[in-house]
Structure 1
Amino acid sequence: MIYIVEDDAEVREMETYALKSGSFDVMAFECGKVMDEQVKVKVPDLFILDIMLPGEDGLSILKRLRGQENTKNIPVIMLTAKGTELDKVKGLDLGADDYIAKPFGILELISRVRAVLRRSGRGSSESTESLSLALGGVILDDQRRSVTVDGVAVELTFKEYELLKLLMSRPGTVFSRQQILEKIWGVDFDMDTRTVDMHVKTLRQKLGAHGSIVQTVRNVGYKAL
C-alpha cells in the first residue's frame, strides 16, 4: 500500500492512476492531517509527499514520520516543483529515500517507486508478511491469521476472515457484491450474490458490538468504516 499526500486534485489523480496502472494499491490524501487518521488504521509500505502543501508542508510531515515509532522506517519519496539542490538536500537530510522534481513521467514515477521498495526490502506495496489492521476494537493480524474484538479472540471461517481482511484493508472503499465474490470466491465462481449478504450477517454477529464496522451501502455493497 502506498500513501500519497498532494493538495492539487489533478496531480493527485494522475499520480494515483499511474501507480494503480503499475499494480500498486494506493490511497491519496489532500493533506497530512487526513493521512494521519489512515495511518492509525494501517501503516503503508511507502509514503509519497509533495513538499509544497498548505498548512503543514511535506518536509514537516517527513520529519514527523521519522520521529514516530510506527513510521520511522517506512520509505518516503518527496515530490516538488522546485528543483534546487537545497530542497533536495533538506529532504534527504530529514530522511527521505528519494526525491523527484515535477514535472515527471508516469514510467519514471513507477520505476522510482519500485526501486525504493526494492531497496527497503519490501519489494511490493502489497506485502502482507506482517500485516496488522485495526478498526474500532477489531484487530486483524494476518501473520497469525487471527482476529480479536476488544482483546478477545474470535473464530472466523476462511471466507469470513478473507471478507473482513478485504474490507479492513481499504476502509471507506465500497465493494460491490460481485467484486467481493470475485475477490473472495474466485473470478469464475458462479454464485448468487446473496451469499455475500449471508457471510456479512454471520461476520457481524461474531464481531458483536463492533459488527457495525461493516456497513451496508444500499443497492451497491459493503464497506468497512
Structure 2
Amino acid sequence: MARENETILVIDDEPYIRELLQYNLEKEGYAVISAASGEEGLDLARRNHPALILLDLMLPGIDGIDVCRRLKREARTAKIPIIMATAKSEDTDIVIGLEIGADDYVTKPFSPNVICARIRSVLRRNEQKIHPNTEEDFIRIHDITIDPKRHQVHCGSRVADLSVTEFSILEFLARNAGWVFSRNQIIGAVKGDSYPVTERAVDVQILGLRKKLEEYGAYIETVRGVGYRMREEDSGDSGALPIRRAIQSS
C-alpha cells in the first residue's frame, strides 16, 4: 500500500545493500533516496527531510555515529527517526547510537522483512509522539468512550465492534448530544452532501448501531417526524428538543 509523503533515506556505502533495501522498501510503498557516504547523507537529509533514515554506522569519511549526532543537533532534522544498521555487535556501538538519539538498531546481515517491520514500528511510534492521544481526544457520554484516532468504542468495559459508517454516526451524534438531526443531515455529516444514499439506509445503520451498543443503544433516540439524537447526560425528558440548524438538510 502506498505511503504518501513517507520517504526513506538509506545511508550505506555498499551498493548492493542500497539496491536491496530500495527494492524491498519500494515494494512496501515507500519512496527511497540513498547516499553512499555520511557527507552525502547529511546533505540529502537536510534537503529532503525524509520520514525516516536507515543509517549504517561504518561509513567512509563521516561515520554513522557522527552523522546521527549532527542530525539530532540541528533543529530541522532533529525529529527525523533514525534506525542504525551495523555489522558490529558490540553493545557499546548500540548504546552510543541510542544515547545520541537513534530510535532503533539492526545488525547485519539483516532480513529485508525485519527492516520493513522495524521501519513500520518506528514510524508508528514517531507518529504517536507527534500526535499523542490526550483526554481531549476522547468523547465520553453515558459510560460510552469514543476514541476517534483508534476508531474504538468502549461501552463500559466492553468494546463495541462498529463499522466505519456506524462509528461515524455515533461520533457525530455524541459530539452533538441533545441536538436532533434529520436523516439527510446525518448523511451529509458522515458521508458528504452529495453521497448517493437513501434515508432508509440511515435507519438501517441506526438499527445496527443500537444492536451493537446493546443496552447503551437506548441513548440514541428516535424523534418522530424529525430524525435522531444522542440523549444528553442528566438531561431528563423535559423541555423542547433543540433541532440543529448548523448543518442544512439536503
| TM-score in terms of structure 1 length | 0.52
Which of 72, 82, 88 does residue 82 from structure 1 map onto? 88
1:65 equivalent among 68, 71, 86: 71
Shift of 1:63: 0.2
Return the alpha-carbon distance in structure 1 between the equivalents of residues 65 and 46 of structure 2: 20
Residues 1:95 and 1:22: Cα distance change in structure 2 (over 3 Å): same
What is the alpha-carbon distance in structure 1 between the residues aligned to residue 128 and residue 47 of structure 2? 19
The match for 1:100 among 99, 106, 113 is 106
Alpha-carbon distance, 1:19 to partner: 1.0
| Aligned residue number for residue 13 of structure 1 | 19
Alignment of 1:118 with 2:124, yes or no, is yes
- Is the contact made by 1:2 and 1:46 (CA closer than 8 Å) also made in structure 2? yes
User: Highest Rg: 1 or 2?
Assistant: 2
- The CA deviation string for residues 73-102 of structure 1, in whole angstroms up to 9 with x for no partner, is 110000000112111111111111000000
Per the alignment, residue 142 of structure 1 pairs with none
1:56 to 23, 38, 62: 62
Distance of 2:46 and 2:65 partners within structure 1: 20
Say how many residue pairs are matched: 123
Question: How far has the Cα of 1:39 moved from its partner?
Answer: 3.2
Query: Identity of paired residues, percent?
Result: 37
The structure with higher relative contact order (CA 8 Å, sep 6+) is 1
Alignment check: 8 A CA contact 1:45 1:122 kept:
no
Shift of the 86–40 alpha-carbon distance from structure 1 to 2, 3 Å rule, reads: closer
Is the Cα–Cα contact under 8 Å of residues 81 and 102 in structure 2 kept in the other structure? yes
Preserved CA contact (<8 Å) 1:2 1:27: yes
- The yes-or-no answer on 1:44 pairing with 2:67 is no
Aligned with 2:34: secondary structure? strand
Contact 1:78 1:96 survives alignment (8 Å): yes
- TM-score by length of structure 2 reads 0.47
